[in-house]
Amino acid sequence: MKKTILATGKSKTIYTTDDPNLLVMEFRDDATAFNGVKKASLARKGKVNNHFNAHVMQLLAAENIAVHFVKLLSETESLVKKLDMIRIEFVVRNVVAGGISKRLGIEEGMVLPEPTLELFLKDDALGDPMINESHVHVFNWAKDEEIAELKQRTLRINTILKAFFAKAGLTLVDFKLEFGRADGKLLLGDEFTLDGCRVWDTKTQKKFDKDRFRRDLGEVIESYEEAAERLGIDVL
């Protein structure tokens, strides 16, 4: 049973339940960009993201990746395990786009010779600054062995999902992951949706992700639904 609001984010609301180890994660229709400066409500977004996330989490679980997802509860809600979240975002880049293009002055679209992994401190007030492993160590944001394990796990997830998207004629350009602890184990938390990754058509380079909202390209949810359909994910 869903009880009280535990946390409200930019596009999700987290509720407590009768079980202290389980939470309800509700996906809303809210869309934000540029650390909340740009906002909108997009019909069907919560439903699409909820089903997209559930499919990806189940796919990863089948590949022996430990995830917090338990099951779908409704069109916009999922049951998840409660985690002690690690304050680090793990970002994998397969193709140059977005932040790395701006930081390094490299044109978008360059295919990287190998996946590039970046770490960011999860802190909205600071704009999620980029950090390195020395920062993580000296400020004790995570143990050295945890970071080593999560880097390895993140790259394995990249291998799995790149192949999954490639079968649908889509390129997984980049994505971010968050992890947490439960019962002494490290689990993939938060979400994997088109809000938190970049996905392009492999041939035409059409964008199917939140850059459509960031850059006013239009047909945001229609593109999310098209990508889901190509991937065999039922979001309708």
Residue at token pair 């979240």:
85
Question: What's the rounded Cα separation, in Å, for the pair 47 and 31?
Answer: 13
Mean local confidence (pLDDT), 211-216: 96
Question: What's the rounded Cα separation, in Å, for the pair 175 and 156?
Answer: 13
Q: What percent of the chain has pLDDT over 70?
A: 100
Break the chain into its structural domains and give their ranges.
2-81, 85-219
**With bands split at pLDDT 50, 70 and 90, how would you rate the model's confidence at 229?**
very high
Helical residues (DSSP H) of the chain, grouped into ranges? 45-62, 99-104, 133-138, 144-166, 211-214, 220-231
How many CB atoms within 10 Å of residue 227? Answer: 24
pLDDT (0 to 100) of residue 94: 98
Whether 35 shows a pLDDT value over 80: the answer reads: no
Burial of 23 by CB count in 10 Å (0-12 exposed, 13-18 middle, 19+ buried)? buried
pLDDT (0 to 100) of residue 215: 96
pLDDT (0 to 100) of residue 37: 80
List the CATH code of the domain at 2-81. 3.30.200.20
pLDDT tens digits for 165-190?
A: 999 999 999 999 999 999 999 999 99
Asked whether 183 and 193 are in contact (CB, 8 A), the reply is no
- Higher per-residue pLDDT: 156 or 125: 156
pLDDT (0 to 100) of residue 190: 97
Architecture label for domain 85-219: 2-Layer Sandwich (3.30)
Whether 72 shows a pLDDT value over 80: the answer reads: yes
pLDDT (0 to 100) of residue 2: 84
Mean local confidence (pLDDT), 147-176: 98
Q: Residue 225: helix, strand or coil by DSSP?
A: helix
Q: Which of 132, 154, 151, 152 is nearest to 141 (CA)?
A: 132
pLDDT tens digits for 88-101?
A: 999 999 999 999 99
Mean local confidence (pLDDT), 192-218: 97
DSSP letter string, 83-104: -EEEEEEEEEEEE--THHHHHH
Mean local confidence (pLDDT), 23-40: 92
Q: Which of 191, 156, 162 is nearest to 177 (CA)?
A: 191
